[in-house]
Amino acid sequence: MAADTEREATDGIWSPAYLPVTLANLTIVAIAAFDGLALVAALPAIAEDLGSVALLPWVITAFLATSAVAGITAGPVIDAIGVRRTFRITGLWFLFASAAAAAAPTMPLLVVARGLQGIGGGLVISVALAAVGLAYPNRLRPRAFAANSMVWGVMGFGGPVITAGLLTVAGWRMIFVVQLPITAVALAAGWRTLPSTRERPARIVMDGRGIAMIAALVVTSLLAVSQIGVEWWLSGLGAAAAIGFGAA
């Protein structure tokens, strides 16, 4: 009994009992956070390769917009189909979207792939947060949340620096290629170890009107910001629409 108590007191989030969950959790958070702003440093190289400079801001905006909207819908999805199943689906979604972005032959297709990436990224981040509350005992949850926050901050703000380093040795497509094995590692680690909160999927229940209003506010706000200095009329239209949706 005393030995069990001592083991519980010394076990941390990196102990063998929690290592797979921690690895899956932090790896997927790192990749999703990295993708938010990482391509900022690669935009000139992307424009030179694919052209369509007018669409260039959407390479960033599409990811941020769909990620935010997906995060809004994550709660009902996780409640309906469970943490583990949501992790599997969204992790695979993110993996294939990253592959599509790496192979995109045109700027419009890259923007579409980035939008799909954002959906996977927004959902999988919510899964990671839900997993912390279910996979760890009370005494370890603060450490797990702190680790998530630290990884998010480092990878989110350090993404452009990492990208700049990659661009010195490879093209912009490598930014997506290197994510594929890392995402696969996260999926492998969490495939069976993340908590299963539902044996059978249930019906997904959402407040469609509320989600649509928040989604419209997010998208128009990002549109207003992303088009500053590019298309002023579009930026103004987005700002006006955001104010309108916010007031509603």
What's the pLDDT at 3? 39
Q: Would the pLDDT of 150 be above 50?
A: yes
Give the type of residue at 205. Answer: V
**Stretch 45-62: mean pLDDT:** 87
DSSP assigned state of 38: G
Q: Would the pLDDT of 204 be above 90?
A: no
Q: Confirm if 76 and 206 have CB atoms less than 8 A apart.
A: yes
HSE-CB for 205 with a 13 A CA cutoff: 3
Q: Confirm if 178 and 27 have CB atoms less than 8 A apart.
A: no
Q: Which two tokens stand for residue 248?
A: 């509603």
Query: pLDDT band at residue 5, thresholds of 50, 70 and 90?
Result: very low
Enter the pTM of the model: 0.79
More confidently predicted of 130 and 3: 130
CA distance 216 to 204: 21
- Residues listed for the chain: 248
Q: How far apart are the first and last CA of the chain?
A: 59
Helix 19-37 vs helix 83-103: crossing angle, to nearest 10: 40
Which residue, among 63, 120, 72, 122, has the nearest Cα to 96 in the 3D structure?
120
Q: How far is CA 241 from CA 102, 133, 213, in A?
A: 33, 37, 11
CA distance 52 to 226: 16
Phi and psi at 196, nearest 5°, equal: -100, 110
Q: Would the pLDDT of 232 be above 50?
A: no
* Burial annotation 177-192 (CB, 10 A radius, 16+ → b, else e): bbbeebbeebbebbee
Q: Would the pLDDT of 238 be above 90?
A: no
What's the pLDDT at 206? 60
